Amino acid sequence: MKLTFTFKNVLFFTLFCLQFLPTLTFAQENNLVKKIIKKFLSSETDSTRGGSLIVLPAVGYAQESGFEYGIASTYNFFLDKDDLSSRTSNITLIGTLTTEKQKNIKLTSDIWTKDNEYHILSELRYRDWPFNFYGLGSDTWLADEDFLGQKLIRAKVDVEKSILRNLYAGVNLTYEHFRFEDPELGGIFDQDNVIGKAGGQYLALGVSSLYDTRNNTTYTTDGLYARLKYDYSPNFFGKDNFIGSEVEVDLRGFRKIAQPLTLAAQVLYRGTYGKNVPFYAYRDLGGDMTMRGYYLGRYKDRNYATAQAELRYRFMPRFGIVGFAGTGGTFSPQHAIRLVPSFGGGIRYFFSLEHNSTVRIDYALGEKRPGEKRQSGFYLSISEAF
């Protein structure tokens, strides 16, 4: 799972570390600097196949939330250190609070068991956080921005078992519970085509399959990844709660062009099907993983399709650069698809050479609609977009 932070995190982290230096002697400072350089810049790998942990302070400021503070961390490890084919597992935690008493707690994991026999994905999340709603479809406008309050509880687990070489099949369960508040009535959120304005909940049960030949799960330079997922939400809760199906198709390919140069590509489709689908079950365009440069939810509809490609150049063991471009859009029977562009570049820092784990800094640009400024986004995240 990817984590997005602001540039202020980097500044905060630097100041946090530097505040302890004045209490050290010159010799201690010199020794400490050498240890830091060796820890974070050395090209030597860890032959023990041990775990790697990175912790970043998460701070920022927004008018609607006030001052935000907390931590974000990820721990990468091998469940079987003796097996060189064992894939990297990881556990990621982010927790932040704001001076406006909002909170966001998220715990995710991606686990590969011994002999890579089982692949287990999980997510637990509680979010009390506002967001901007622009309407439904791919032809919404910034001028219609409607500020909403949101409370979300989410629990997800996917368990897949190896049935053939590189092929997995499994089951999944998802539970989500939403509550919304509209502080200022009369906006686009009040339109009749928006279903589920008070919120709702659903429990979805499904199946999935995965074909995976990637040589590395954290920074892939060769291989294929194809995952198909389907789930269905029965009428457990009645009323305006979501009843219907969800489909996801995620296809990725990686090819090493030269020793430090990799071409990576992804095609992604997410669809929601049902008679009366509430807006909270719709698909969002944007974020730090696909269609970078757009606010997550800037365009929202029942279906979402995107394609993106990255050219990755790892010029040093610890550092690399990336250029990326893509296109995508949301659509439904009521709204035709409108493909919009996404392009940009970024820097990669490999904080663990043993696991090829990265911190990525990306800047992306999107479309410029008439009368609006060009959409863009800056991302500081843990691990690759795909």
- DSSP string computed for 104-115: EEEEEEEEE-GG
Name the residue among 357, 202, 196 with its Cα closest to residue 280.
Answer: 196
Q: What's the mean pLDDT in 182-210? A: 92
pLDDT digit string, tens, across residues 289-319 = 999 999 999 999 999 999 999 999 999 999 9
If pLDDT is split at 50, 70 and 90, which confidence band does 276 have? confident
What average pLDDT does this structure show over 254-271?
96
pLDDT in tens, 187-197: 999 887 889 99
Total domains in the fold of the chain:
1
Which stretches does DSSP call E strand in the chain? 4-5, 52-62, 66-77, 89-98, 103-112, 118-128, 131-133, 146-164, 167-181, 199-212, 223-233, 244-258, 261-273, 283-285, 299-301, 303-313, 319-331, 340-352, 357-365, 376-382
* pLDDT tens for each residue of 321-380: 999 999 999 999 999 999 999 999 999 999 999 899 999 999 999 999 999 999 999 998
Main-chain dihedrals φ then ψ at residue 106, nearest 5 degrees: -140, 125
Q: What is the pLDDT of residues 20-39, one digit of tens each?
A: 444 556 565 667 666 666 66
Q: Indicate which CATH number applies to the domain containing 92.
A: 2.40.160.50
- The answer to whether residue 15 scores a pLDDT higher than 50 is no
Q: Which of 128, 129, 130, 134 is nearest to 146 (CA)?
A: 134
Say how far apart CA 167 and CA 165 lie, in whole Å.
Answer: 5
Most confident of 54-58, 184-188, 264-268: 264-268
201: domain range? 4-382
Q: Per residue in 30-84, pLDDT tens?
A: 676 666 666 667 777 666 788 999 888 877 766 666 788 898 899 999 999 888 8
Q: Mean pLDDT for the chain?
A: 89
Q: Which residues contact 238 (CB under 8 A, 6 or more apart)?
A: none
Return the pLDDT at 16: 39
Mean pLDDT, residues 257-285 taken together = 95
